[in-house]
């Protein structure tokens, strides 16, 4: 069920992950696949990313015991913590051999290109396959006082500068990706999202985008509310897949159980080719 420009995977929460790995996938195999390898860099089919206060090294060790194929994410690591508290950083973020048997992502947070490049250089030896820049967190501590996370979507040129410097600071075998929303506050049109993707990919060298298909509202909603109240717009991501065939997209948001995961999979196959629609009808 891999067709043409179909370069997308999905993120599930920890509860959904257990259901997917222990239930449907075990019985139905590849029917749950939502992505494919692109040039050897991105091999994940689905990701496990409840993240803050959840995806520590202990959780990821447990998750890896369930699946050797899921992409496991770290909690967000702030650049200044990596730089100025290296002992704590290594203790909590360096991966054990038992987790490294499958794909992994370490996420960095910050807005200073030099600090993020320094942090990326330091953590590249922690055993992760990919380093991700957080451009999607809506919390006041991050996007408000910290001026990073989802707030970075307002400055695509800065994000491109950050990712370019991060890429230059790490080995070529460690790709830099971006996790973002479809928009932020009143900057929520498809055209704005397209401009962000085009700028960061062309100027910043990013090939992979993990997109939470909701916009972030930075004032008036809590992080929990930002995960449920802004409406999902998967069609924005589908349009990006069509317009940027050389990029790799992962859909996030509303994917908490295997049924939702399968629904996205079917929608993407229908989008990618008429042959896919024929196979589904058959």
The pLDDT of residue 261 = 55
Straight-line distance from the first to the last Cα atom of the chain, in angstroms, rounded to the nearest whole number = 13
Q: In the chain, helix, strand, coil percent, each to 5? A: 45, 20, 35
Q: What average pLDDT score do residues 76-86 get?
A: 96
Which domains are seen in the chain, by residue range?
8-281 (3.20.20.70)
Confidence of residue 268 (pLDDT cuts 50, 70, 90): low
| Cα 59 from chain centre | 18
Residue 180 known to be catalytic: no
Per annotation, catalytic residue among 21, 135, 137, 180: 137
16 compared with 129, residue with greater pLDDT: 129
Q: pLDDT digits over 146-180, tens only? A: 688 999 999 999 999 999 999 999 999 999 999 99
DSSP 190-239: HHHHHHHHHHHHHHH---EEEEEEEEE--SS--HHHHTTSSPP-HHHHHH
């Amino acid at each position: 069920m891999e067709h043409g420009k179909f370069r997308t995977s999905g993120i599930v929460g920890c509860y959904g992950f257990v259901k997917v790995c222990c239930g449907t996938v075990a019985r139905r195999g590849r029917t749950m696949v939502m992505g494919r390898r692109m040039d050897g860099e991105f091999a994940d089919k689905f990701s496990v990313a409840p993240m803050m206060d959840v995806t520590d090294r202990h959780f990821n060790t447990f998750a890896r015991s369930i699946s050797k194929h899921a992409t496991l994410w770290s909690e967000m690591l702030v650049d200044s913590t990596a730089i100025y508290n290296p002992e704590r950083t290594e203790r909590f973020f360096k991966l054990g051999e038992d987790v490294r048997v499958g794909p992994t992502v370490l996420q960095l947070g910050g807005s200073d290109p030099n600090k993020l490049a320094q942090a990326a250089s330091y953590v590249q030896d922690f055993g992760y396959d990919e380093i991700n820049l957080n451009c999607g967190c809506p919390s006041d501590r991050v996007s408000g006082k910290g001026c990073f996370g989802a707030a970075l979507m307002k400055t695509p040129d800065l994000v491109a500068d950050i990712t370019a410097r991060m890429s230059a600071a790490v080995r070529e075998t460690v790709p830099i990706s971006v996790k973002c929303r479809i928009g932020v506050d009143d900057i929520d049109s498809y055209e704005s999202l397209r401009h962000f993707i085009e700028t960061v990919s062309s100027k910043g060298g990013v090939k992979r985008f993990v997109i939470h298909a909701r916009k972030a509202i930075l004032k008036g909603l809590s992080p929990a509310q930002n995960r449920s109240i802004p409406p999902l717009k998967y069609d924005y991501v589908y349009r990006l897949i069509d317009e940027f065939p050389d990029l790799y997209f992962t859909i996030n948001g509303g994917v908490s159980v295997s049924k939702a995961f399968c629904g996205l999979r079917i929608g993407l196959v229908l989008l990618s080719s008429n042959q896919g629609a024929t196979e589904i009808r058959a």
